[in-house]
Structure 1
Amino acid sequence: MGVILPPAPWRDRPGLAELIAVLGDARYVGGAVRDTLLGLAVSDVDLATPLEPVEVVRRLEAAGIRAVPTGIAHGTVTAVSQGAIVEVTTLRRDVATDGRHAVVAYTDSWHEDAARRDFTINALYADPGTGHIDDFFGGCDDLDARRVRFIGDPLRRIAEDHLRILRFFRFHARFGAEVDEAALAACVARANDLMALSRERVAAELLKLLVAPQAVAVVRLMVTNGILRPVLPEIEVSGVELLTALAEAESRAGVAPHPIRRLAALIPPADTEAVGARLKLSNVDRRRLAAARLGSGDEGKRALAYRAGMELAVDRLLLSGGDPSEIMDWLPPRLPISGGALVERGLQKGPAVATALKAVENRWVAEGFPDQPRLEEIADAVVSEQLEGAIIRQADDASSGRA
């Protein structure tokens, strides 16, 4: 009878049965099948069909199902049925590849479609009605063994799409046990191919990898074998050691891993701005990457959270060996006094007010954010000092004038 796809909540999503009925010949494919067999939660559902995209769109629209041509040039239509969002892709075979892009032709062969996919565990198709799984290349056995294995010759598969090098390590970090030696050898041999990829694609795969369950061990494997050197020569063994310590600190503190925080562990502080620009990270991520290794300062953890923000404070504490537990549930307050309150105390409007307000804030933070009465005392003292200083300066100016 073979392997049968077990029941799973996603299979009962509203609109999914209607969509399958409209398409007729369609099967679940890829991650939804793989993750269900592993007992993991499923978010995205993909369908494969021998119907060509034009026919897919025609059938969907005739049934009143929204059809979005998200990747129609490559055979993919996104169907929106009663809230269910499903990518429907026509069976394909590769006509030509150059390591970055593929020219495809449509086919009615499930085997041909499976043969163009990257790993055996991603080439599993399940009949929506019976649950029967078509497994052309031993993907179910590889899932049982927690083995990530290329379909066919690994060197050829990497030559077709260079990104498969990083995908291999990402999938191994998520699903793998023992590394497939043939796959590893091929990745080592073709590591320089990564230079032909856009840095956005490199960044997207790397950031996903960094939060996978076995990220630390896999990054160590990659660095030891020189996989990342062509695109990220800044990453050395010392960075892997810091990543190891960071992952342990995250676990102790109960903090979820974050890809930018983990990337910051790998990159020397002097290189973070250059790496962020090279990987074309967003401005927000580039700022976080550059600031994560600045240390925890000497004002205390709450002061750090107040000045840097909670997110960055957690990054900096974890990366510098500190424990963020005491600030995890703390809400940094806002300074409960304004410049107007200092003017009411006798300061003249102008730059002196901003200077005094900053001095009040610094003392308030240094004292651990005391209550309002103590803050009023701090404000009184700062204003008195400012006024006394102004009187002294005026006297000095008058004395200099007489001289």
Structure 2
Amino acid sequence: MGNHLTVILGAGFSANAGMPTASSIAERFNRDLREKLLSASSSEWFWIDGKDETFMHNGRLNYDYIAYSYVFDELVKSYVADRGKFIYYEDFYQFIIDNFTNSDWVEELFEKAKKALLTGKPFFLEEKNKEYYKSYLFAFDHKQFQKVSDILNYLIGDILSVIPKNDAELIEIYQGFIDYISQFESVDIFTLNHDLLLERVLELNGLKYSKGFNVEDSPISHNDLSVPYFNNTFNEKIKIHKLHGSLDFFQFRHYEQNGMWLQPTGEYDYYMTTNYSTKHNSIRINPDTKEILQDYNPDIVPKFITGTRKLDTIDNDILFKQLFKNFGEVINKSENLFISGYSFSDEHLNEKLKSKEFNYINQNPSKEYPFDGNGKNIKNLNELKNGS
């Protein structure tokens, strides 16, 4: 694979465009979170930050927005008390996962949140107001781990959905990267980032790419059109493998009708979209007969891996397991390696990288390539520009 390039991208690649870093995401969480969350009628969650008055009004029509903002405020307080400081959001997520296995801990957390809410809003319990405000307290008596987990994914997704730089700036910032990868006949890009910056940069430069999702024989449909689903088929010169998931990855869980109830089968498909209606209104069909098998998907949470024990998810998920298998297969055959913004902190990647010597370029202002190989370390992407 002499004229093939393997690319690994970490958070530093996106940081070049002003995308949030781990520290800036931590700052969003590590503050007073009471009434900082918005709950849309679609069941999606958002931050209040940067939203206009209409959006904020609509996000406060759902009763749960107050309760869960107090729950998250208590979660952060508990996390900081345990760790000594807010480390980063993936560690925070793991803290939630680990503690929510303890029902007593969850009961106490929700009780603290409820007490804090009623201390700040004592009129909720006044006899004349009890009936009116009881819906705002519903979440405290019906504790749902999955809802807390979903909210966290939505909030992280909301932060990562905005690309601060305009198109002209993006073209300039990433020109060296485009110049370099364009020299190769085929490119496999393995990115740890959930955002859609990479896709935008390639599109701005007229470069086609595949992400392993295709419409051929898709079991997912919307308005009689096939929706791209994951079948691990890559048809373009540039192949993007989003190892930790993406803002545009969604899971369609399979259910079977059992009388009046829908029974989960444990099977699922991954589909890809950035379209609101497609995300909310897709159906599952028999791709051969077009027969409708399921007209409702209850899960519209963007799928990306968070937490500090990602291998637990990778080993038990059809998409992530396959993407990491792709990584191993490509690395084994590859000779040329380009890395941007990766801090070498994922051991499941490092095991492959240190297994052989590559012709490498490592772009990172503070972290040199730590394994054997032939190559160079550069500080910024401008050093890759033709003529530089």
| TM-score calculated relative to the size of structure 1 | 0.25
Q: Which has the higher helix share?
A: 1
| TM-score calculated relative to the size of structure 2 | 0.25
Larger radius of gyration: 1
Larger relative contact order (C-alpha < 8 A, sep ≥ 6)?
Answer: 2
